[in-house]
Amino acid sequence: MLRTSCLDAKQRLYGDNCNVKAVFQLGAEIKSAATKAGFDLCGIAPVAPNPELAYFPEWIEQGHAGEMGYLKSRNEAGELRRSSLEIAAPWARSVVVCAINYNAEEPYSTEFSDKTRGWISRYAWGQRDYHDLLLERLRKLESEIKELTGEDDFRSWCYVDTGPIVERVLAKYAGVGWQGKNTCIINQEVGSWLFLGVILTSLPLAPDMPAADRCGSCTRCLDACPTDAFIDAYKLDASRCISYLTIEKRGSIPEELRDGMGNHLFGCDICQDVCPWNRQAAISDKEEFQPRPELVNPALDWLAEMTQDDFRSIFKGSPVKRTKYSGLRRNVAVAMGNSGDRNFISRLEQLAVDEDENVREHARWALEKLQ
C-alpha cells in the first residue's frame, strides 16, 4: 500500500507521461555512481519550499550572519538569493546531495587539557582543502549522470559551500541525515563529521524521504557552547560562534567573547565533540582526509613564531589559509591569554609591539589577562 502511494505521488509530481520506474532506476544508478566516485552517502532532495529557508531572511535581518556579506546577496528584485532555489536556480528540478566522512582516529578537543596548545578544527587537518577534493568527486559524478541520462539539454551546477542554498538544508531533505540542534547534519550510522557537496540538476529525479530527527530531549551541544552562540535549538547566532570568530571575523574580536574562545585557533568542534551520536562515529578510510600530525593540537609557541612565509608554506592548500596570517596570529594571542600560562608573557610582549595593529590589540588584552 505504501509503495503504491509513493508511486502515485511521483506520478502526480512528474506527470502522467513520466515513466516512474525509470525515474526511480535513474536515482539508484546515480547513488551507485556516487559511491564509485568516493562518496560515503548520497541522497536526492526535491526542489520545494523549506521552512529552514523561510526563516533565512529573518535570520539575516536580526544580524546573526555577522560580517558574512556573501550570505546577504540579493538578486535584482531585492530577494535574498539563498532563501529559495526558485530564486537562485529556477531551472533546477532536483538536487543530488553527497557526503564524505572526514573523521580521524584522534581524540576530540574536549579530551585535551594542555592549554599551551591550540585547537584547529578537525576538518582542517588534511593535506588539501576539502573544497577541492569534493569538487573533483562531484564533477566526476556529474559527468557520470550526463552519460546515464544521454540528454543534450541536461543542466547542472556543482558546489561545495559556495552555492546559493545551504547544503545542510538540502542534505536533510535528501535523507543524508537530520539537522541536529547544533545545526549540523547527523547521520545515525556515520555521525556528524561530514563534508557535504551538492549537484543541482534539471532532471526530475525521485526524492528520498527526509531523515527522522533523533536528537530527542538532548541539549548537550547547546549547553556546551562557550560563547552561547545558540539562540535556541536549531538556531545559531553565527556572529557568536567560535568558528565565525576565528575564521570569518576580521579585525577586532568583541572582548566579551574572547574568554569563551579558549584555545581555539581555527574553527570549533565542541558541539560535535559532545554529541552522543559521535561516540562511535565512523573513522574515514580516505587517505586524503588523514590528519597532518603537526596540526592536531599544535603548540601555541610554534604558531606564534611562524613567519608569513612559514604560514604560506605550511598551510598551502589548507582551509586554514582562510583566516589569513594576521587572523591566525590574532587567534594565537587570544589563546595564550586564555591559557593561564605566564610563560607566554615574553612572547606576548613581542606581539604587543608587532607591526600588525590587529595582533597588537589582542596581545595586549592577553597580557592584561595573564598579569
Q: Which segments of the chain are extended strands (E)?
A: 41-46, 94-101, 119-120, 156-159, 178-179, 185-186, 194-201, 230-232, 235-236, 264-266
Looking at 21-111, which runs of residues are DSSP E strands?
A: 41-46, 94-101
To the query of whether residue 153 is one of the catalytic residues in this protein, the response is no
- Please identify which of the residues 153, 161, 223, 237 carries the catalytic annotation: 161
Residue 303, all three cell numbers: 604558531
Rounded (10°) CA dihedral 311, 317, 320, 322: 100
Cell numbers for 283: 573513522
Measuring CA to CA, how many Å separate 338 from each of 10, 189, 227, 238, 365? 56, 36, 14, 22, 10
Kind of pairing, strands 119-120 and 264-266?
A: parallel
DSSP letter, residue 299: B
Active site residues: 161
